[in-house]
Amino acid sequence: MGSVKDLKVIKKPTKDEMGIGRFHFSDRYSVFDWGEMPDHIPNKGAAIALLGAYFFEKLEERGIPTHYTGLVEDAKAKKLSDIKRSVNTMEIKLLRVIKPEIKGDKYDYSRYEREKGGFLIPLEVIYRNFFPEGSSVFRRLKAGEIKPEDLGLDSMPVPGQKIDTPFIDVSTKLEKTDRYLSWGEAKHISGLNDDEIAGLKNLTNTINAIITKEFSKAGLANEDGKIESGFDMERRLIVVDVLGTLDECRFTYDGLPVSKEIARIYYRNTEWYQAVEEAKKRDRQRWKNICRLIPEPLPPRLKLLISQIYCACTNEITENEWFRDVPPLKETLKEMKEVLEL
């Protein structure tokens, strides 16, 4: 079980063959690496499953391999066009997850040097078209971890700044707390060669362009997002996990975040968030165990509006009314701005 979705293994992957699994997208959500938060967002799981399937099928149309098989309805995996109602389960092909060994206070990735194919690449790749307020980029700039020239800029960016050329960022995927990497470090720990790193960057740029185009239909700006990938049995790149959803990306409409960033905005003004930041500074590995507070539930109206945003986005991007009696997206976003006083 993950923080927001569950995986049922139907057939385990091996070194010689990919497996079969099913993602059950729950109504849970997570912020700040906490894991499951106290609330569940109604219909969130189905909205994510349907929208994720939509983007996987868009990639397939472009000849981009993925682990997606179909959405599950009546115990069968079907393409989105064959689904008659909203569902929250997706069938996928499974890759092996090879976890790095922990040696002292470091992670040992040496095993990846010996692997040929059929495994998850231990990297999360992030595309950035904007630097929105709250982006980790500003924290890293302040700490001296990166410089403006690393972002392709001549001077320090400001919150909300759009950049002409997307910045492709990379972090670890399988560590207790993910950490950002240079591309040299990413190449070293993953065992990828120069051509494979270039292929991963090109794949990310292509996916970024597809998501940006689709969300522009609803008048939303695609600020940043993440993808995960792996190698099939022939060591060809494939896209895995899920993409193009409000959990994987940050979108905005007239300055309002349209993603789980809404929940982050609310919680950043709570004592719990301050406690999380304090705990992470004290111990990056055990921070949750030593955090002095737990999060309080969302206000009921805010939770309802978040649910309506997830549902309306899926309806409008897929151009199908999966969720009935949901107000138009722009109407809900207008009310959300009033609630958040933005």
User: What are the DSSP calls for 141-191, one per residue?
Assistant: HHTTSS-GGGGT-SS---TTEEEEEEEEEEEESSSSS--B--HHHHHHHHT
Residues in the chain: 342
Note down pLDDT in tens along the chain; length 342 residues.
Answer: 567 899 999 999 999 999 999 999 999 999 998 989 999 999 999 999 999 999 999 999 999 999 999 999 999 999 999 999 999 999 999 999 999 999 988 999 999 999 999 999 999 999 999 998 878 999 999 999 999 999 999 999 999 899 999 999 999 999 988 899 999 999 999 999 999 999 999 999 999 999 999 999 899 999 999 999 999 999 999 999 999 999 999 999 988 989 888 999 899 999 999 999 999 999 988 999 999 999 999 999 999 999 999 999 999 999 999 999 999 999 999 999 998 886
pTM attached to this predicted model: 0.92
- C-alpha distances in angstroms, 174 versus 140, 327, 329, 338? 21, 39, 35, 38
Kind and range of the H or E run holding 70: strand 68-73
Q: Are 249 and 211 in contact (CB under 8 A)?
A: yes
Q: Are 337 and 262 in contact (CB under 8 A)?
A: no
CA dist 42 and 316 (Å) reads 18
Domains in the chain with CATH codes: 5-340 (3.30.470.20)
